[in-house]
A and B are shown apart, each in its own frame.
Chain A
């Protein structure tokens, strides 16, 4: 028998333990790099099934397209919605859809957490030396989020053409950050709900409820709701920050808000904070993981 190996001599490894005080930064960089490697691998997996690609994207377009028809019908029946015209509502609707598509394109695997836990795939993720959350995020191998993205970008593009926003560099930067913030808020809801998977078998109905809430309550001007409900949508279930507050800022409609207008500018920051909170809840719940079988 060869000399037993207890202390393997290794070449330098990009490991957090060696990085000292800047460890968290090294970990973050490594996590982001691995996220992309896994994300691309999942897309390559989806591309293996060539015929499926078209169907998956088409399904995404069709699903979101129905929503668009609904807005169109709505605004042909009522000239305005809480004082917002067709163009403005389209802008808001498009902005929400782009944020929604962004979260899905990046992290749609979160939605499969109950299946991953139930069927034991989650165990495999815990055996890898990387955060299980990014492995989950890249677990789904479907392309329909690209259909959502296509529809979202088209609608937002049309809205950009017909609204007269006085674009400056700052507004453009804010708009991009707001979309990222919106995507983070949608992701947060799913991470938060996903942490229930360690206690519940099936989350499908809760996830559908969250998704429907965000698309119904997130895509229209909140002036149609009572002030109390608007407060609720801002501070308790912060759907207003996904697209409504950013759209109000960009369209200069902050006068109609029940909250101070500057709050709209904080949307990207709110996205980051809400996500951090959801991540804490997730990490805390993960301690309850019981595994499958025994």
Chain B
């Protein structure tokens, strides 16, 4: 059963064309010319309850706009979003306040906490804003304090917190009302390795124990590899890929690399940058090793036999393409377009 249903979602930003020159601001105001930017162009997908979905794409692909449409901050130009709430289906921008009760949102770039007040006061304000009954508040906060280790800084004003502490505070704030649906927009941006790990295991734990559905945008693919079984990849406001993480790699990187280093006391097998062994062609790496790209369906055996007839292999590694390599290639093709 799907919790989020997105159909042909489109958002075109229409902004008055900036007029430069004398009285630019006033002329802009009365200008009838507009700049149109198609940020989201007919996106469709659905998310089932309990899933963690990685929503990926390069900068400017339309990720944040989609999140804003899903959370009810913006109205789309066309298309629909339906969120299944406990009181029936909701359209985020039309039932904004009702929808807001059922979602938690964390922006890595911007805190939702009260800057000048101690962290705990932010929690109490959220308790009031979401009408959380006192008993449930005490129970939830107790659990979050323990899971996120909030006790050491819960009485510190938010402006004095480190980025990692602030992010832990933001995660707690987004989950105090126990939303069934959580949007995380770059939750690990700018964090150190340990803090990233804290965030990841907390997100995993939340999904596992509470069944919270999570939509995650990030540029750190380690987040995705650790958390998401499913990826939606978008670019230019369109869905490029929607499916499992493994499927993405298999589809866009049907090769693995075999890196061969020969014993140095033999002559070079080739003077040029390429070396042909039967049907396989290797490229020379900067450090002198040879790199073969072998299609996944061919066994490596054929290559190894071919090499060992004439050459002594000193070292051999097989590099499976990871998500990063795939994404890099996809983004690279995009720039080439």
Given contacts A37-B125, A41-B121, A199-B29, A291 and B74 within 8 Å (CB-CB):
yes
Residues of B4-35 whose CB lies within 8 A of A: 11, 13-16, 25, 29
Contacts of A130 in B (CB 8 A): 97, 129
User: Smallest CB-CB separation from A202: which chain B residue?
Assistant: B25
> Residues of A within 8 Å of B, CB-based: how many?
45
A7 to B15 CA separation, bound complex (whole angstroms): 40
Stretch in A8-16, A92-100, A172-180, A265-273 with 4+ CB within 8 Å of B: A8-16
A251 to B85 CA separation, bound complex (whole angstroms): 58
A15 to B102 CA separation, bound complex (whole angstroms): 13
Residues of B70-123 whose CB lies within 8 A of A: 71-75, 84, 86-87, 96-98, 100-103, 105, 110, 112, 114-117, 121
Residue in contact with A294 in the complex, picked from B60, B125, B207, B210, CB distance below 8 Å: B60
Contacts of A202 in B (CB 8 A): 25
* Structural contact, A5 and B100, CB atoms closer than 8 A: no
Residue in contact with B1 in the complex, picked from A6, A45, A141, CB distance below 8 Å: A6
A73 → chain B closest CB, angstroms: 36
Given contacts A15-B131, A48-B116, A5 and B72 within 8 Å (CB-CB):
no
B28 → chain A closest CB, angstroms: 9
Residue in contact with A4 in the complex, picked from B49, B65, B129, B130, CB distance below 8 Å: B49
A169 near B: Cβ within 8 Å? no
* Structural contact, B73 and A294, CB atoms closer than 8 A: no
Contacts of A6 in B (CB 8 A): 1, 3, 49, 84, 86, 180
A9 → chain B closest CB, angstroms: 8
Residue in contact with B86 in the complex, picked from A3, A8, A11, A287, CB distance below 8 Å: A8
Given contacts A200-B29, A290-B15, A4 and B125 within 8 Å (CB-CB):
no
Residues of A1-45 whose CB lies within 8 A of B: 1-8, 10-11, 13-15, 17, 30, 33-34, 37-38, 41, 44-45
Binary B-proximity of A273-294 (CB < 8 A = 1, otherwise 0): 0000000000000010111011
* Structural contact, B65 and A294, CB atoms closer than 8 A: yes
B178 near A: Cβ within 8 Å? yes
* Structural contact, A1 and B211, CB atoms closer than 8 A: yes
* Structural contact, B60 and A287, CB atoms closer than 8 A: no
B246 near A: Cβ within 8 Å? no
Given contacts A37-B125, A287-B75, A4 and B211 within 8 Å (CB-CB):
yes
* Structural contact, A293 and B64, CB atoms closer than 8 A: yes
A51 near B: Cβ within 8 Å? no
Residues of B36-75 whose CB lies within 8 A of A: 37, 39, 48-50, 60, 62, 64-65, 68, 71-75
B164 near A: Cβ within 8 Å? no
Binary B-proximity of A167-206 (CB < 8 A = 1, otherwise 0): 0000000000000000000000000000000011110000
Contacts of B29 in A (CB 8 A): 199-200
Given contacts A4-B49, A11-B133, A199-B29, A126 and B72 within 8 Å (CB-CB):
yes
**Most chain-A CB neighbours within 10 Å: which of B15, B101, B209, B213?**
B101
Contacts of B49 in A (CB 8 A): 4-6
A124 near B: Cβ within 8 Å? yes
User: Smallest CB-CB separation from B66: which chain A residue?
Assistant: A294
A123 to B129 CA separation, bound complex (whole angstroms): 16
A33 to B127 CA separation, bound complex (whole angstroms): 13
* Structural contact, B211 and A126, CB atoms closer than 8 A: no
Residue in contact with B180 in the complex, picked from A8, A11, A129, CB distance below 8 Å: A8
User: Smallest CB-CB separation from A200: which chain B residue?
Assistant: B29
Contacts of B211 in A (CB 8 A): 1-5
A109 to B87 CA separation, bound complex (whole angstroms): 34
Contacts of A291 in B (CB 8 A): 65, 68, 73-74
* Nearest 3 A/B pairs, CB to CB: A4-B50, A4-B49, A45-B116
Residues of B at under 8 Å CB distance from A? 1, 3, 11, 13-16, 25, 29, 37, 39, 48-50, 60, 62, 64-65, 68, 71-75, 84, 86-87, 96-98, 100-103, 105, 110, 112, 114-117, 121, 125, 128-131, 133, 136, 157, 178, 180, 207-213
| Additional A-B contacts beyond A4-B3, A294-B11 (12; CB < 8 A) | A2-B211, A4-B211, A11-B133, A30-B131, A41-B117, A45-B116, A123-B68, A126-B96, A127-B112, A129-B101, A287-B75, A294-B37
